[in-house]
Amino acid sequence: TNALAGMYAALLSGFADNEDLDEKRQRNIVDHVLRQGLKGLYVGGSTGESGLMSTDELFEQQAVVKDATNGHETKLIAHVGQPSLRDSIRLARNAEKLGYDALSALPPHSYRFTPDEIFHYYKALAASTGLPLIIYEIPGRVGRESSVAELSAILDLPGVAGIKFSSMNLMILSQLRSKHPDSVIYFGSDETYMTGAIAGANGGIGSTYNVLGKLYVAMDEAMSGGQIERVRDLQAISRTYVERLFEVGVMPGIKLSLRHLGVDCGPCRAPFRILSDAGRKPLIDFLEQPDVK
């Protein structure tokens, strides 16, 4: 199987109380996630609130996270998707210089780009470094679903190693698996990871892995071992956590969870905020259950 396959936490960003990037809090989050036993970290993605950060802040974050993982076997994927190709390439080259293992990028989504523009974005980005590139299918952000032919043409480009699949269209996922047996396919919906794995995903990248990392490692093992009942039980726990997160907002809720677990990680950056104070208690009660701890 692909050397990049496996389970990755979509890393959160550590901010100071005034919302500046905070090196100490970033290290706290990395240390906590490293203890989960996952395959690696996905740095600077949507879960990391990178859409609210400047390119210069992301340079700094890449360096802090790389330094904080020194001496660990963990794989590092840098998300480098920026509104413009030129800034994406600057971030990609920085990650390569720092020793990251792979790159990933959302499709450009700040305007309604054509499939041809998206293809050329990925082509130029893949050619800009020697690192393998993970592309992205995420209809919820781009406003439309890509066809199998469009995704397949990008996966065939030199330097493209796989795709993060954040769509529920499992027919497309299984078609991509058949056409690209050597590509890594990460499923992007934590709460339904098992369906993606059955359709052909050989890894996952998710926000809730920051908190329930060990659970996702166990789910991956049970999936490989064909223990479907066990997979379903673990998925029900993960799905319940996501239900609780939806009450307060996913990223604010994960930071609330980490603080409850003793990880000083700071706030989310505005305009993110807790959606409902009433949702805090059910979230904390969930974390206190014996089968979650």
Closest residue to bound ligand NAY by CB: 45
- Restricting to residues 81-110, name those near ligand NAY by CB under 6 A: none
Which of 242, 256, 258, 263 is the binder for ligand NAY (CB under 6 A)? 242
Closer to ligand NAY by CB, 162 or 188: give it: 188
Listed in sequence order, the residues at least 6 apart from 22 whose beta carbon sits closer than 8 Å to its beta carbon are: 14, 15, 16, 266
Minimum distance from residue 289 beta carbon to ligand NAY (Å): 19
Q: Are 256 and 17 in contact (CB under 8 A)?
A: no
Minimum distance from residue 48 beta carbon to ligand NAY (Å): 6
Minimum distance from residue 116 beta carbon to ligand NAY (Å): 24
Residue 207 near ligand NAY by CB under 6 A: yes
Q: Catalytic annotation on 164?
A: yes
Residue 166 near ligand NAY by CB under 6 A: yes
Residue 279 near ligand NAY by CB under 6 A: no
Residue 190 near ligand NAY by CB under 6 A: yes
Binding site for ligand NAY (CB under 6 A): 10, 42, 45-47, 79, 166, 188-191, 205-208, 242, 250
Q: Which residues are known to be catalytic? A: 136, 164
